[in-house]
Chain A
């Protein structure tokens, strides 16, 4: 038995990695509610909320944009991802392997792993800002791209190193700890909002006796709109909407969460994602934004987005612990997943070593504040990279059979590289990136929508050519 087969059997034995999830392993609706609420209330929410304020967003644009964008994200989970997941009951990776072949999935894993590393780096950055509150070393500013002090580098190295070691040794333990921390963390985020709101009322002398009064305060003092901070793109209603919709694009439209919803009894369980969207991507973003807006209100020149000091000012040590735990518990699975993606490329390597090396890469990435400070851009790019493969999965599942073509063609033909899928992916990504360079940075948050249709069309057209040229062994 070769290593690949051995690895496949081991995986199949534990998590149904290479077989449909059996009926006996299906989970109820409640499991998904808790998972989404916890997973989307992460350390990075403490960056995103303030970055909206730095982008000069207005109150109406933020609130309505988040309501609409998050609803679109939930609908994407419900109607794009979950229906395929509950019919095929396969992980995204195995699903892709059947469609694209092993070589292309390897390339996909590499792209996914690299993006996960950078994302984990941003989470390490968030946690390290809490260390700065204790040790008072200079921390990076909003427009810093490189590490700006030895203290910062050491803090990130220590925090990132610890996270990497723990992820390598005891991923499951941290995952359990994350489950315990999730309800507490959500309520600390809520407290951030309450405390920040009162601080605004006291600082401005505003009369807030009704919802109307609170709205007036939000419009006049918290999200005033106007010009963004230097180096930031101005965010409008549409930016907020598309950001909220696409910030988890890799998971819903990109189909990563096939791996989650394959355990769901019904496809409507996709609605469980609304807990994550309206707790993490609505309440938590708004709360974090209020804290940053208050900092700007006190000193307009203090534009630094540093979750540690922001949380400490609002809720003291509990807030600081929240920043560390939020960063840690979300960086942990991210590093672990990146490690798994890389391990799939080099199956003979030990998971421990790969996770450790992945953690080291994430730690180095975390030293560069550019990723965290440009998180709005990075998250859009992350979705853009993985979105075309989601379109390929969608078209292969629903449309390809209706065109008289065959689904899962790599498996059927025995080829390890379906270039129809590969070209659809690469050409779409290149086209989106080119469009952003030509049109301007503001379009980064929008191009993935037409990009999905480009990928879908390309895959349909190229599949016809590919399946005519490359025949399955029995049809040859």
Chain B
């Protein structure tokens, strides 16, 4: 299960970044960028929480 969640998380991060790169290249409208980023954000927090929550935190 964990590897699948990790792959999905990576896909969410790619989906978060790529639209802004397309916008920079002049290949996507800003409104579309905003919607895809919002969707990627939701997916990231749902999926990444599933496998990152139990990870040991950094020292503080």
Q: Which residues of A contact B (CB under 8 A)?
A: 27, 31-32, 34-35, 38, 175-176, 179-181, 183-184, 187-188, 190-191, 194-195, 197-198, 201, 259-260, 262-263, 315-319, 321, 333
Once the chains bind, are B26 and A260 in contact (CB under 8 Å)?
no
Once the chains bind, are A315 and B59 in contact (CB under 8 Å)?
no
C-alpha spacing A183/B47, complex, angstroms: 13
Interface membership of chain B positions 25-43, coded 1 if the CB is closer than 8 angstroms to chain A and 0 otherwise: 0100011011101101100
Once the chains bind, are B60 and A315 in contact (CB under 8 Å)?
no
**Residues A183 and B21 in contact in the complex (CB < 8 Å), given A198-B26, A318-B34:** no
**Residues A180 and B38 in contact in the complex (CB < 8 Å), given A27-B59, A191-B16:** no
C-alpha spacing A187/B21, complex, angstroms: 11
C-alpha spacing A318/B48, complex, angstroms: 16
Q: Which residues of A lie under 8 Å from residue B44 when comparing CB positions?
A: 184
Q: Which residues of B lie under 8 Å from residue A184 when comparing CB positions?
A: 13, 16, 41, 44-45, 48
Q: Which residues of B lie under 8 Å from residue A201 when comparing CB positions?
A: 26
In the complex, how many angstroms separate the beta carbon of A50 from the nearest chain B beta carbon? 19
Once the chains bind, are B23 and A195 in contact (CB under 8 Å)?
yes
Once the chains bind, are B20 and A191 in contact (CB under 8 Å)?
yes
Chain A contact surface mostly: helix
5 shortest A-B CB distances, which residue pairs? A316-B34, A35-B58, A191-B20, A318-B37, A194-B20
Once the chains bind, are A260 and B59 in contact (CB under 8 Å)?
yes
Q: Which residues of A lie under 8 Å from residue B57 when comparing CB positions?
A: 175-176, 179
In the complex, how many angstroms separate the beta carbon of A169 from the nearest chain B beta carbon? 17
User: What 7 new A-B contacts, CB under 8 Å, besides A194-B24, A195-B23?
Assistant: A184-B48, A188-B37, A195-B30, A262-B59, A316-B31, A316-B35, A318-B40
Q: Which residues of B lie under 8 Å from residue A317 when comparing CB positions?
A: 34, 38, 41
Nearest A residue to B23 by beta-carbon distance?
A198
C-alpha spacing A190/B41, complex, angstroms: 14
Once the chains bind, are B20 and A31 in contact (CB under 8 Å)?
no
Q: Which residues of B lie under 8 Å from residue A181 when comparing CB positions?
A: 45
Nearest A residue to B45 by beta-carbon distance?
A180
Once the chains bind, are A197 and B58 in contact (CB under 8 Å)?
no
Once the chains bind, are B60 and A260 in contact (CB under 8 Å)?
yes
C-alpha spacing A195/B33, complex, angstroms: 9
**Residues A318 and B59 in contact in the complex (CB < 8 Å), given A191-B17, A195-B23:** no
Q: Which residues of B lie under 8 Å from residue A190 when comparing CB positions?
A: 17, 20
Most A Cβ at <10 Å: residue of B21, B52, B58: B58
Interface residues on B, range: 20 to 34
Once the chains bind, are A195 and B60 in contact (CB under 8 Å)?
no
Once the chains bind, are A318 and B60 in contact (CB under 8 Å)?
no
Nearest A residue to B48 by beta-carbon distance?
A180
In the complex, how many angstroms separate the beta carbon of A1 from the nearest chain B beta carbon? 27
Once the chains bind, are A315 and B37 in contact (CB under 8 Å)?
yes
Once the chains bind, are A187 and B16 in contact (CB under 8 Å)?
yes
Contact of A179 among B23, B37, B45, B55 (CB under 8 A): B55
Q: Which residues of A lie under 8 Å from residue B48 when comparing CB positions?
A: 180, 183-184
Q: Which residues of A lie under 8 Å from residue B40 when comparing CB positions?
A: 318
Q: Which residues of B lie under 8 Å from residue A38 when comparing CB positions?
A: 58
Nearest B residue to A173 by beta-carbon distance?
B53
C-alpha spacing A158/B13, complex, angstroms: 31
Q: Which residues of B lie under 8 Å from residue A32 when comparing CB positions?
A: 58-59
Contact of B38 among A27, A259, A262, A316 (CB under 8 A): A316
Once the chains bind, are A315 and B34 in contact (CB under 8 Å)?
yes
C-alpha spacing A378/B30, complex, angstroms: 36
Once the chains bind, are A194 and B59 in contact (CB under 8 Å)?
no
**Residues A316 and B60 in contact in the complex (CB < 8 Å), given A180-B45, A184-B44:** no
In the complex, how many angstroms separate the beta carbon of A327 from the nearest chain B beta carbon? 16
| 11 residue pairs A–B, Cβ–Cβ below 8 Å | A32-B59, A176-B57, A183-B13, A188-B41, A190-B20, A194-B20, A259-B59, A259-B60, A262-B59, A318-B34, A319-B34
C-alpha spacing A262/B58, complex, angstroms: 12
In the complex, how many angstroms separate the beta carbon of B37 from the nearest chain A beta carbon? 4
Contact of B23 among A35, A180, A194, A333 (CB under 8 A): A194
Contact of A180 among B21, B49, B60 (CB under 8 A): B49
Nearest A residue to B26 by beta-carbon distance?
A198
**Residues A176 and B38 in contact in the complex (CB < 8 Å), given A184-B13, A194-B20, A195-B30:** no
Once the chains bind, are A31 and B58 in contact (CB under 8 Å)?
yes
